[in-house]
Structure 1
Amino acid sequence: MAAKHEEKLMIACLQFEPRFGEVADNRARSIAMIEQAADAGARIVILPELVISGYMFQSRAEAFALAEPIPDGPSTIAWAEVAARRKLFLVAGIAEREGDRLYNSAVVIGPDGVLGVYRKLHLWADENLWFEAGNLGLPVFSTPHGRIGVAICYDGWFPEVFRLAAVEGADLVCVPTNWVPIPGQVEGRGPMANILHMAAAHSNSMVIACADRVGTERGQPFVGHSLIVGHTGWPVAGPASGDSEEIVLAEVDLSAARRARNWNSFNHPLRDRRTDIYAERLGAKPSDRRP
């Protein structure tokens, strides 16, 4: 009898509206939404960027006061408790404090605790005033469900991020984000961010799950439209609304994404790269996480 390769996995993106500076309230409401997603069968849950603090800092001192250490900060501890109790994996955006340095980070947590941290590589606008650029590269985390990479918001405008995650073996890239309106957006069309992540999913044959926030914070609107994109490049859930909190759920097969990279008898988007013309890793350092 042929081996069965198919494994269905429920992923949830939590479209959430943080209340700036209300750390305890944001933490409690995020956990309530995680519980709802778990009740719906989610095994991997993604929360937005900077979900505990909010986004629109007015000084570095304010950002520093709202940041937390990882893994010993109260939000990571609380998220780890719910991940253990509900036996799920979480990817959650947080302002990380390490000594005197701040990072726009995402913590990756499983039932057995913290797997690691991703620090945003490409800082947007005033983030450059508060945060250091990420210094941990593009780690890929092994789980029983598949290998998970992470990107945050503006990272999604760089195709190298998704290609390198694919080269490192990622089946799924989780994207905590705070998308804002950008120049060139056309009225009546969905956000350019949706199109970019659909293209990245297709060209790398991977699943990409984007959890955005909604609302207006200190005059800055956020666009919502969270979505989960299958390995073919088409949404399998969402886009969500542009203005409401909601849970975007999809059942995916991560092993199918890996098998589908063989597009035909000749072509495979990773093997077909012309590394005699451009560097195999686009200048990135090799990782010992590569399978």
Structure 2
Amino acid sequence: MSTLLHKKIKVAAVDFIPKWGSFNENLTNLVDAVSEVAKQNVDYAVFPETILSGYLFTDSNEMAPYFDTIPGKTTEALLPLVKKHNMYISVGIAERDIENNVPYNSAVLLGPEGIVGVYRKNGLNSQDQKVFAPGNTGIPVFDTALGKIGLLICYDDTYWQYARLAMLQGAQIIGWHSVSDRIMPGSSKAELIGDHSTVSHVQHMSALNGVFTICATRTGIETNPLTKKQLYYNGGSSIWNPMGQKIAQAPIVGPEELPYGLHGVYTAIIQLEEAAVRQQQILKKRKTDLYNPLLSFHRSPTDANATTTTCTTSLKAVQWLTNESKLAGVKVAKNEILVLPELSALPHTNTINAILNAAESQNGPFEQQLCAIAKAGAGYVVGSYPEKDADKVYHTVVLAGPDGSVLARYRATHLNERDLGWATPGNEVSVTSTPIGRIALAVAYELEITELGGMYAALRADVLAAPAGLPHPLKVQIDANLYSIKNPPTNKADYYPYAAATLNQMWVICGGRREGAFTSAAIYGPEPVVLTETLLAAENEDAVQLTSTIPAPYSWLNQERLITGQVAALFPPIVKK
């Protein structure tokens, strides 16, 4: 394994355009495409979803002539090629199971040794549910001569759990197969509510799990000739390193008719050692005792925790410079949720002595000041401070309410490198029901560990108030052309709170610091591609503010649908000690 970690591997995300309902023609084109990819000396190539059939079908009966089995015609045609070229490929297939005749949306991994393994899609969207049964393979990870490879398909990336399960089973590479579709321009309002883009979510699979992710999707307009319905596929196949950074990407394109077959090959050279190092960092920070048993529960279709009424309120994230602490001048409006930067009574510091010298007990000066601000404005104020309790010090986040009392405290559970030098980790999460929704607490840096946000979604938090420190180096790297909103957050917004908002379908509010051209003071919405724009505090502004609804507005997804669509029976490995 040590030799394998240092080996350089060439991987490819392939844009392949199938012709709707033309299995034999697509298979011929696929054979030609694999031969072309092999000419580039690729070790592992990922092809899109439903590559032999097309995707836009009304039901499984309409799709019936275009299903294949595994093994079947596709594997029979491709196996001689991958053996000849000593390469691995994974291909999305509309599969009909040999034994039970059930249709699945599948991906098959092929290598020189034969059929390595099969994955059947778990995250089924509304279109999938017309045609396919839920997957029954779990989240397998396959040992190969290149390393350990997991497979996922398209809408699977709506759920943080599937990539996490692959990582926990040792995956170093994830092959993601998609036909990331968009609603055609000029569609009705009713149709546009379903507009989304799965390829715009893929960064989290690498950023949160320390894996290389190879994301293959297609381009071009697809028309069902029977129903005349159309979708278009905007491209953007991409490759991501274990730090969550994009290392290759295909262009983003608009709706256009394109020739069938191979449309593009996007390659990168990777070394598995990067995944090994990053995964060890992530695994050391996980707190499985905290996640068990909550993250293995399935509470749908009914959930007594969920907010049942909608209200309008103001969300506000305070911005200070690194050397500032302007707590005395803070004001909150009635029913507003205002979030301060972390260690709110101090200028930003990494000096442990300075932090320890500022430590105080509960109900001390800091909490009293927060409560006074909240009461004066009849709003909600969130900040954090070093809390001294006997011989221990915690990084504690406090929620003060309109009546001037402390409504909740949360002691940071997943400490970063600085806080490990002085703080004791807490052992509980915090969600508080208020007249303006359910408010959860965290420190922004903790959102690097995806289980924390996942717990808050399971507890049906509407807002996560997360004080932040300096801007984080990892930014949103989703291509700006994938967004329908006016101001895409690409290369501007901190990634981890952005991911927590969209993966858990909640507002995330981060009071934070400005350093140079970047800020960590931001408001993140749950559908940042088409609906809830990420708002960053502008230079020379004391805060960024938004008046919106709680629970958050939604288009194609909300928290209830997210939780209903999870396959919680697969989740016990996440909470395993």
Query: Match of 2:125?
Result: 124
**1:43 positional shift:** 0.7
Q: In the TM superposition, what is the alpha-carbon distance from 1:239 to its structure 2 partner?
A: 3.6
Residue type matched to 1:143 in 2? T
CA contact (8 A) 2:5 2:271 kept: no
Q: Judging changes above 3 Å, is the alpha-carbon distance between structure 1 residues 237 and 95 closer, same or farther for their aligned structure 2 residues?
A: same
Contact 1:50 1:93 (C-alpha < 8 Å) held by counterparts: yes
**8 Å Cα contact 2:220/2:233 also seen in 1:** yes
Indicate the SS of the match to 1:75: helix
Evaluate the alpha carbon distance shift between residue 280 and residue 229 of structure 1 in structure 2; reply closer, same or farther with a 3 A threshold: farther
Cα displacement (A) at 1:143: 0.6
* Deviation by residue 1:173-210 (Cα, 9 ceiling, x = unmatched): 00010111277999xxxx86445222220221110001
* Aligned partner of residue 260 in structure 1, secondary structure: helix
Structure 1 112/233 Cα, relative in aligned 2: closer, same or farther at 3 Å? same
- Cα deviations across residues 236-255 of structure 1 (Å, max 9, x unaligned)? 11143426721111111123
In structure 1, distance between residues paired with 2:26 and 2:4: 42
C-alpha displacement of 1:26: 1.0
Deviations, residues 114-146 of structure 1 (Å, cap 9, x unaligned): 011100001122221211000110000001111
Determine which structure has greater relative contact order: mean sequence separation of CA pairs < 8 Å that are 6+ residues apart, divided by chain length.
Answer: 1
Q: SS of the counterpart of 2:77?
A: helix
Separation of aligned partners in 2, 1:37 and 1:216: 23
Tell me the equivalent position of 2:84. Answer: 85
Scaled by the length of structure 1, what TM-score is found? 0.88
Q: Which residue of 2 aligns with 1:228?
A: 239
Task: Indicate whether 1:258 and 2:276 are aligned.
Answer: yes
Counterparts of 1:99-248 in structure 2 under 5 Å?
99-181=100-182, 193-218=198-223, 219-242=230-253, 245-248=263-266
1:260 is displaced (CA, Å) by 2.9
Instruction: Say if 1:6 and 1:256, in contact at 8 Å, map to a contact too.
Output: no
- Could you list the runs of 4 or more consecutive aligned residues of structure 1 that deviate by over 6 angstroms after TM superposition? 182-186
Residue 31 in structure 1 maps to residue 31 in structure 2 = yes
Q: 1:3 to 1:239 in 2, by over 3 A?
A: closer
Counterpart-to-counterpart distance in 2, 1:271 and 1:173: 21
Q: Secondary structure at the match of 1:276?
A: helix
Q: CA 1:211/1:281 → structure 2, altered by over 3 Å: closer, same or farther?
A: farther
The RMSD of aligned alpha carbons is 2.4
SS at match of 2:41: coil
* Alignment match, 1:265: none
**Residue in structure 2 matched with residue 276 of structure 1 by the alignment:** 289
CA contact (8 A) 1:46 1:210 kept: yes
Larger radius of gyration: 2
How many residues are matched? 276
Query: Equivalences for 1:38-117 in 2 at 5 Å?
Result: 38-71=38-71, 73-98=72-97, 99-117=100-118
Contact 1:46-1:175 at 8 Å conserved across structures: yes
Could you tell me how far 1:232 is from its partner in structure 2?
Answer: 1.4
Classify the secondary structure of the residue corresponding to 1:166: helix
Contact 2:157–2:198 (Cα < 8 Å) also in 1: yes
Identity of aligned residues (%): 29
Instruction: Report the TM-score, using the length of structure 2 for normalisation.
Output: 0.45
Segments of 5+ residues of structure 2 without an aligned counterpart are 184-191, 224-229, 297-569
